[in-house]
Amino acid sequence: MTDQGTLGFESARAEAERLREELHHHAHSYYVEARPEISDTEYDRLFKRLLELENNHPELCSLDSPTQRVGAEPQSKFKTVAHTAPMLSLDSTQDVDELRRFDDRIRKALGEGHEPTYVIEPKLDGASIELVYEDGVLTRAVTRGNGREGEQVTDNIRTISSVPLRLRTEDRVAPELLSVRGEVIMYISEFQAFNARLVEAGGQPYASPRNSAAGSVRQLDSHVTASRKLDLLVYDILAIEGSGFKSDTDGIEAIRHWGFKVPDRIQRGRTVEDILEYHAGFAADREGLDYEIDGIVIKLDDLSARSAIGVTSHHPRWALAFKFKPRQEVTRIDKIEVNVGRTGVITPVAVLDPVVVGGVTVSRASLHNREELRRKDLREGDTVRIQRAGDVIPQVVEVIAHEKDRARPFEMPTECPVCSTPVQEEGPRIKCPNRFGCSAQLQGRIIHLASRSALDIEGLGEETAALLVTEGLVSSLAELFDISPEQLVEYEGFAEKSAASLVEAIQSKKAPDLPQFLIALGIPEVGTAVARDLSGYFGSIAAILGATAEELEQIDGIGPKMSEVITAFLEDERNRSAIDAILARGVEPVASVPADRGFPSAGTAVFTGALPIPRTSAEAAWRAVGGRTAISVSAKTDFVVVGENAGSKREKAERLEVVILNFREFVAKVVSMGGEVDVP
């Protein structure tokens, strides 16, 4: 090599480019293909030479340089950024019958004559992440967060050796923009060694490989992340510009070509039997794997059909997670306690001898309610079988042994254990009615208000909420916005900077999005989808607070029972007083644009029989011009589109004198309204 001191800039640039190309190639061969071509010593020599060139010519350093994997300066906090496309959860089941119903729904959606092809893959149990590449270079990595936005952890993700800092383009051109979804994992063997090192150093071990992976990618110092052995497997394209695919299979192949590591044993299937065979194979091999999986994922392969079938606010309708049966272990109930939640429900909880279930140490499990206690006859001192439902939530399955002199049956309290208010019975549950005077409920409401799905207040977790309530700093949700740094610094765990940061985080949420504010209030029946619908329809918190049950029922998905529950909450004098107090602190939810309340839609259509295109595509075309679709014919149906072999729905439409259109007439109707139908 030319001597560093005499190397001119152009020569240094050419050598640096060559070294980067060579190091990218060898990193992919080693970490992705597990096929090393050079020794570690030779790789280190090349790396050090590149680092030397970049140190002497800083302008040569680029985002995609292998030297950027070593870690960056520590951050004070992570920036929250929006995802390129939503990162949805998956609907899941362990029931074969539910799997068959999923397959039936897909087949009905596609219509007669259109057989589905599924992509089947393992459901990895790690930390979900979005990677964004612009012109082939990694520019952003974001945790899943609430599915709409997450924390930018780019510096940490760069340290993972299997993550391409620049897309490989030998076999496929890099798109202008590419967003992919993957899972950061820590292998079980590394997790065990990592925990052993933590314990030896006097630290607290992580509960599971998943927790260790999630904790590692959220380290403020990326050098800490770099010190841990992590891997990243990519399995989905979230967004792409400058290219496109017709199937998920094509997308996975492109992911491989661009240099990503993908999960093992991805394959295609056409029937439920194909899926069951794949599931059984992985279940049999599960205990021998060096990584955690909790089931398999079934996804429709055809991307245009996916688009037509659509998604809910929570999960895609064209995919399903088919979970494994929970892992079970045996332990002992040391004690039964009760816990008061934010809604006042008092829940019995089993305190257990700690036991490891599927890699996670379990020491507590909810017993749900007094009826569950009686049905399973659970008592202190019993030896029980426990499992983690969905490999997540600990639950007691059954009693398998008990002492000869068995403890007396546990009795639920007649008074709230926190505020001593007489409890009320609601079916199998008991509840503390002292909503605004019970400190346990207030603490739970603060935690909920600060959660990611609500106001997302950084630094306001369980410990801080407990401190605020027990020390009397907060006696209502509204008083959160009155806290000052001077109050907080008097307590252990708060210095001037951390106290100021928490107060700043709270004050920064005085202009929340209206849907998040509605969720933060803890209104019964109001989750993400309903909050978004309320916001879009009414446009302001004032309009929502003044809405009648009849007005609420104008929104799709809100029926009489739901509207009654929502209005009862909003009309309750104590609830309204609490909401008004929050608004009086200067909290102003950001208003949405109200929907057109004068909807008569383009009409409600029902599709039946074998159509020339998948039924989901026809339905999507009608919704695109403002129409609604339904699965059954009624007097409210505006017209029925019939294909070949149309049966009972056509007959019912004729009886009810509903307009009947053939497919050609339907296409003409859509086109006349400014839409289009993708006709083969």
Residue whose tokens read 């985080």? 505
Contact 670, 625 (CB under 8 A): yes
- Calculate helix-pair angle for 96-110, 272-285, nearest 10 degrees: 140
Classify residue 311 as exposed, middle or buried by CB count within 10 Å of its CB (0-12, 13-18, 19+).
middle
Spatial strand order of the sheet with 137-143 comes to 137-143, 127-134, 177-185, 231-241
Q: Distance between alpha carbon 213 and the CA centroid of its chain, in Å?
A: 16
Which residues lie below 8 Å from residue 345, measured CB to CB, with a gap of 6+?
429, 430, 431
Which residues lie below 8 Å from residue 212, measured CB to CB, with a gap of 6+?
186, 191, 194, 195, 206, 228
Is 561 one of the annotated active-site residues of the chain? no
Would you say how long the chain is, in residues?
680
Which of the following is catalytic: 79, 123, 335, 509? 123
Contact 265, 283 (CB under 8 A): no
- E runs forming strands in 270-418: 293-300, 319-323, 328-340, 345-357, 360-366, 383-389, 393-401
Which residues lie below 8 Å from residue 58, measured CB to CB, with a gap of 6+?
none
Contact 367, 396 (CB under 8 A): yes
What number of H helices and E strands is found in the chain? 24, 22
Instruction: Report the distance separating Cα 649 and Cα 96, nearest Å.
Output: 29
Instruction: Report the distance separating Cα 174 and Cα 48, nearest Å.
Output: 28
Residue whose tokens read 């630290």? 203
Closest CA to 236 of 290, 281, 182, 174: 182
Catalytic residue annotation: 123
